[in-house]
């Protein structure tokens, strides 16, 4: 896959499904070459790549478990090997394992931290040698970093709060290099894991000022803006896309 000299390259972790897939498709539609990672959903990942290429874009899928720092770093390396550059990193991959504080297992705790926090930092570390001035890092957090909306989600809330704090700290460190980093915090978004017509959604909609779930494309639109030149003065921000859930 040959690139034009001014063609940007983005890596989207967890881009095989849900919000990540919508982000990958939107960035590709804007003319960015996209690499997506997947942990187990190879078929879903190839569907995203096929959709992008059929629309005239360039895309590649790479297997990488975001809970394993070495695999995250290898995905960055693959991006550089194939395309020779990296301009945008979207740390989208994340998991949610609920459980009561009495019975939450150490294995589940470690897995949540590994994917939701360590994987984000590993991606940043691996990307930094390749990001030039004007580079963009966009983390996908959650509105639950500000609002513990449900019981039995304390560890998830902790990890997403950590992402918000990491974003603020890195904004100080990376700004002198001309690199911005921001944190997008979705609320209830219609995905296959959290469908807008599910039993849980019916109760939640009553608390939403908009009266509806958001869409992945609405999150992707914000990510696309933050990935572009016009967002250059937005740095270290956590931006809600939650329909006013925590307003």
Task: Supply the pLDDT for residue 1.
Answer: 66
Q: Burial-class residue 70 by CB neighbours within 10 Å (0-12, 13-18, 19+).
A: exposed
Question: Which residue carries 């804007």 as its tokens?
Answer: 30
Measure Cα distances from 65 to 37, 61, 68, 180, 215 in Å: 8, 13, 6, 25, 25
pTM: predicted TM-score of the whole model, two decimal places: 0.96
Task: Supply the pLDDT for residue 2.
Answer: 67
Residues with catalytic annotation?
A: 156
Residue 135 CB contacts under 8 Å (≥ 6 apart), including other chains: 86, 87, 88, 89, 127, 177, 178, 179, 180
Dig out the tokens for 5 from the structure: 């000299």
**CATH pick for 9-237 out of 3.40.50.2300, 3.40.640.10, 3.40.50.720, 3.30.70.3270:** 3.40.50.720
90, 11 Cβ separation under 8 angstroms: yes
Question: Which residue carries 């498709």 as its tokens?
Answer: 25
Task: Supply the pLDDT for residue 96.
Answer: 95
Helix (H, G, I), strand (E, B) or coil at 205: helix
Dig out the tokens for 187 from the structure: 């609320």
User: Which DSSP letter does residue 13 get?
Assistant: T
In order along its 247 residues, the chain shows pLDDT tens digits of 667 767 999 999 999 999 999 999 999 999 999 999 999 999 999 999 999 999 999 999 999 999 999 999 999 999 999 999 999 999 999 999 999 999 999 999 999 999 999 999 999 999 999 999 999 999 999 999 998 988 999 999 999 999 999 999 999 999 999 999 999 999 999 998 888 988 778 878 888 999 999 999 999 999 999 999 999 999 999 999 999 999 9
């Amino acid at each position: 896959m040959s690139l034009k000299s001014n063609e940007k390259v983005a890596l989207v972790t967890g881009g095989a499904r849900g919000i990540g897939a919508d982000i990958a498709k939107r960035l590709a539609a804007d003319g960015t070459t996209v690499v997506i990672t997947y942990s187990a959903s190879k078929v879903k990942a190839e569907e995203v790549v096929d959709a992008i290429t059929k629309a005239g874009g360039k895309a590649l899928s790479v297997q990488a478990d975001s809970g394993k720092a070495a695999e995250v770093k290898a995905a960055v390396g693959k991006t550089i090997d194939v395309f020779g550059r990296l301009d945008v990193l979207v740390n989208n991959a994340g998991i949610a394992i609920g459980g009561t504080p009495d019975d939450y297992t150490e294995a589940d705790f470690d897995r949540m931290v590994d994917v939701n926090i360590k994987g984000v930092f590993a991606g940043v570390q691996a990307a930094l040698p390749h990001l030039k001035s004007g580079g963009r890092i966009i983390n996908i957090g959650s509105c639950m970093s500000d609002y513990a909306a449900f019981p039995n989600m304390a560890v998830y809330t902790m990890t997403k709060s950590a992402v918000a704090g990491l974003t603020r700290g890195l904004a100080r460190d990376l700004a002198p290099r001309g690199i911005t980093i921001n944190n997008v915090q979705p609320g209830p978004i219609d995905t296959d894991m959290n469908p807008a017509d599910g039993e849980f959604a019916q109760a939640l909609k009553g608390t939403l000022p908009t009266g509806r779930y958001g869409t992945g494309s609405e999150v992707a639109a914000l990510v696309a803006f933050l990935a572009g030149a016009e967002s250059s003065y937005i740095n270290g921000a956590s931006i809600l896309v939650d329909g006013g859930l925590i307003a």
